Amino acid sequence: MRFSDELEAPCKVPGSFSSFRSLCSFCALCVTAALIQIPAMGATGPSAPRADVPPLRVAVSSSWGMPFAKFQGDQVVGGLVPDLSKALAVSLEMPLRFVILPGKRFEAASMDGQFDLRCYLEPAWVEAPEAYEWSGALFSFNDVVVGQRDSPSPRALKDLASGARVSVVEGYVYPGVDAQFKSGALKRDVSPDQVKVLAKVARGHTPYGISNVLALSWFVRHNLDANLSNWQLAVGHVDFQCVVPHASSLDASKTFKALHQLKQSGALDEILGNYR
């Protein structure tokens, strides 16, 4: 007999008092168990997403390395942007889905409505900033030029060796160095991601590289013998923002309000602190 059958079975009066007492004790246990089980089966918590809520689709660049994103095969398994996205999804009570894209496909994918949210972005990095709603700065950091350990410390870009190759991430925009790249004073040497940029410099394949200070700090922390300079030459200031494409049906106002509430509560700074 199934447990549900036991609950539905009629309670007949037995022939003796002792058997009657045993049966009633049994029924009382069954009812108690039912009262315990019913709420447990339905308790998902107030912040759990409902089955009918569409997922929050967050774009993640395949060119990112740690601390911004960590990949295992075709899965996103950690990093600053995924951690931020998880906190936001909980706040919005939405399931979360990551959309992994090469850097060059972001623009087309945003116009096609293939994702709802993209973070780690600045207006100067996209062709049509007016195609997005912008969150405003959630936190900021610098882009810097680094060299090899024994290289002389420059005070400005003009102090770098003329015509020197500078490792950069393919598809990334570096407004502070554009003039030097266009004039040929410095030459772009592209790599697929930030980690490979720094690895090229550390191994002596290129004399210089450009990195944001967050990625540089993470690389040095996990490569203590890296052959990188102690000096850093700032060449740009990055405001970490999130955007909602106009092609998405996500409520940008509600989303950004949740992000700034996470910022004000200290939750975003706590996430950031895990990767400094």
Is 227 in contact with 184 (CB distance < 8 Å)? no
Which residues share a beta bridge with 188?
Answer: 166
The Cβ of residue 27 has, within 10 Å, a number of other Cβ atoms equal to 14
Predicted local distance difference test score (pLDDT) of residue 11: 40
pTM to 2 decimal places: 0.75
| Stronger pLDDT, 11 or 141, i.e. the higher one | 141
**Residue that has been written with the tokens 């554009």 in this structure:** 178
CA atoms within 13 A on the CB side of 190: 8
Q: How far is CA 14 from the centre of its chain?
A: 65
DSSP labels, 143-185: EEEEEBTTSPPPSSGGGSPTTEEEEEETT---GGGHHHHHHTS
- Three-state secondary structure call for residue 161: coil
147-163 pLDDT per residue, tens: 999 999 999 999 999 99
Q: What is the pLDDT of residues 223-240, one digit of tens each?
A: 988 899 999 999 999 899
